[in-house]
Amino acid sequence: MNHFELTGGELACEGVPLTRIADEVGTPVYVYSTATLERHYQVLREALVGAGLGDPLIAYAVKANSNVAVLSTLGRLGAGADTVSEGEIRRALAARIPAERILFSGVGKREAEIAFALDAGVLEINIESEPELELVEKVARAKGVRASVALRVNPDVKAGAHDKISTGKADSKFGIALPDVERLYAKASNSPGLRPVGLACHIGSQISDLASMDEAARKMRGLVERIRAEGLSLERLDLGGGLGVPYFNQPEPPPPSEYAAMIAGVVKGLDVQLAFEPGRMIAANAGVLLARVLYVIERPDGRRFLVLDAAMNDLLRPAMYDAYHDIRPVKPREGEAVAYDVVGPVCETGDTFARDRKLPPLQPGDLVAFMTAGAYGATMSSEYNSRPLAPEVLVKGDRHAVVRARPSYEDMLSRETAPDWL
């Protein structure tokens, strides 16, 4: 469900025609819908609460879309933040998400980042390995504090739409291996610098069947019970993110209500606070990338290229994961659908958004919207080919605001210098 609809023959975000945004801000530009963000958060929350899961912490995965305005929108509804760097913690704090709703995850936290997280007072640090556990302990003891930590477990479950976004198999870099979990939990419990509060897992992204999540949750439940049987205290279980979204041509992901019912079945009778780290399911359908057609090139063999002003540096997912994004003309023209290879201006063949995509006829100057681009869109963009980062616009009802400006070429160049000894 999203709030990008054809209104009066053209695509609008809530009450704002996308043409207006493109004309004012230029293209390429990301456009986000407040109503969609809010709805996705509420639907998930209501599903979890409705399934009898108490008052779970929904720690939105900042990496999906880290714009401060997006974080503020979710934070105001009560969302926490799952962060993986000092930069993300700073963003969450800047969006006034209280530190006690911030989780710090990630496989390679630096000492300074751990110190920053402890000073900020984050709810918990999700520890991914024994050396990291020792470093957090050292930093906490030097500060004279006890760091609240959870152990991120690698439950050895295969999940996720693509190998590059599957994180829960034993051979992936993430998490503590199952045979080590109980020993490390006990080790943390005996440390004056650590206060273990729970377990966490995250097995992958764009997951469209519940079986893998169910398997992981059951393994986590088993661990909770075994750790408690040792007489150790464990109050929180973080089951990660990963729920998929419909990208048009993919298996329909399970609705949040089914997910919540599955979790409720697995954790029945287990007295823990639950936490979740959803990213994509909150942000993906809340955003589009707007681009303009620069050229329509027709080859003698009949192949047609649609060259846009957006490129792989703006939306990396098709190049990196062969991801499918629906492409919709903002003002669809009459006429037979035409097959286009939709490409950007970057000097790589990989800068191809779609091959042989059937679209209504398009002409130079027309606008198109890449749908479902609100998650892992702007956050994965780069300045490759020295292209300025696309700006971001947030819409709420009939209002809109630029929430990240397009950098000027002067901004981009001002970060670099050629030393005078050259």
- Catalytic annotation present for 347: yes
279 is in an annotated binding site: yes
- Residue from 27, 66, 129, 205 in contact with ligand LLP (CB under 6 A): 205
222 is in an annotated binding site: no
CA atoms within 13 A on the CB side of 359: 29
Q: How far is the CB of 83 from ligand LLP (least distance, A)?
A: 10
314 binds ligand LLP (CB under 6 A): no
Interatomic CA distance for residues 189 and 197, integer angstroms:
9
Question: Which residue number, 236 or 280, has a Cβ lying nearer to ligand LLP?
Answer: 280
**Are 154 and 172 within 8 A, CB to CB?**
yes
Question: Which residue number, 164 or 399, has a Cβ lying nearer to ligand LLP?
Answer: 164
376 is in an annotated binding site: yes
**Are 176 and 219 within 8 A, CB to CB?**
no
298 is in an annotated binding site: no
**Are 279 and 64 within 8 A, CB to CB?**
yes
57 binds ligand LLP (CB under 6 A): no
Question: Which residue number, 101 or 292, has a Cβ lying nearer to ligand LLP?
Answer: 101
- Residue from 193, 198, 253, 279 in contact with ligand LLP (CB under 6 A): 279
Catalytic residue among 229, 347, 418, 422: 347
Residue whose C-alpha is closest to residue 26's, from 260, 256, 262, 314: 314
Tokens of 50: 């409705």
- Residue from 83, 105, 129, 212 in contact with ligand LLP (CB under 6 A): 105
Question: Which residue number, 57 or 362, has a Cβ lying nearer to ligand LLP?
Answer: 57
Tokens of 248: 């048009």
Residue 403 belongs to what H/E stretch? strand 399-404
242 binds ligand LLP (CB under 6 A): yes
Question: Which residue number, 242 or 256, has a Cβ lying nearer to ligand LLP?
Answer: 242
For every residue of 130-184, DSSP letters joined together read HHHHHHHHHHHHHHT--EEEEEEEE-----SSSGGGB--STTSS-SEEGGGHHHH
61 binds ligand LLP (CB under 6 A): yes
Single-letter amino acid code for the residue at 39: R
81 binds ligand LLP (CB under 6 A): no
Tokens of 240: 């990660």
Q: How many other CB atoms sit within 10 Å of the CB of residue 192?
A: 10
Q: How far is the CB of 152 from ligand LLP (least distance, A)?
A: 7
How many residues belong to the site for ligand LLP (CB under 6 A)? 21
Stretch of residues binding ligand LLP (CB under 6 A), selected from 45-53, 133-141, 274-282, 364-372: 274-282
Q: How far is the CB of 82 from ligand LLP (least distance, A)?
A: 5
242 is in an annotated binding site: yes
241 binds ligand LLP (CB under 6 A): yes
Q: How far is the CB of 62 from ligand LLP (least distance, A)?
A: 9
Interatomic CA distance for residues 265 and 243, integer angstroms:
17
According to DSSP H, which parts of 173-305 are helical? 181-189, 210-229, 256-267, 280-283
Interatomic CA distance for residues 288 and 156, integer angstroms:
34
Single-letter amino acid code for the residue at 8: G
Interatomic CA distance for residues 355 and 375, integer angstroms:
22
Binding site residues, ligand LLP, CB under 6 A: 61, 64, 82, 105, 165, 167, 202, 205-206, 240-242, 277-281, 317, 321, 376, 380
Q: Which residues are catalytic?
A: 347
